[in-house]
Amino acid sequence: MEGWDPNTKSTLTQIPLLTTKAGPRDGAAWTSRLKEEYKALIAYTSMNKSKDNDWFRISAANPEGTRWKGKCWYVHNLLKYEFDLQFDIPVTYPATAPELELPELDGKTEKMYRGGKICLTVHFKPLWAKNCPRFGIAHALCLGLAPWLAAEIPILVDSGMIKHKDDVASSSES
């Protein structure tokens, strides 16, 4: 955690670490892992809400907990930009981090590939590998998606690659 800003460090230390090393093919152990994932997500969401930093909603899209969907948003210049968020849990999870997808941003930045998957290779994936199996979905959102949104969304907005929903609505009315 050396070199991290104090806010990131503080946030990360409040997200519970996971202990069960199990993936989708591991039966009852996967069920235990999912319970830990939910506890960590609830803790992270509660912490964000208490700090007035609510920025995502996700839930399992199937009973097995292998497909997740939701929304994430980023506020830039006092405007809220909201995006669909989805990802699958890899069969090699937790050794392999999930690939977070923002499909509507596909092709709008070089830091994205194959259908809107955000590129986390350089910084996040080595960190994930070092912390396997302690990191989970909440950690991927905190250390992967949050900094990606903070780095990319202002650039995409300022370059005109994405528009605010109100700008799109007013231009279609004219």
Q: Which positions are annotated as active-site residues?
A: 119
Q: Which residues of 8-37 are buried (b: 16+ CB within 10 A; e: fewer)?
A: eeebbeebbebebebbbeeeeebeebbebb
Q: List the beta bridge partners of residue 75.
A: 80
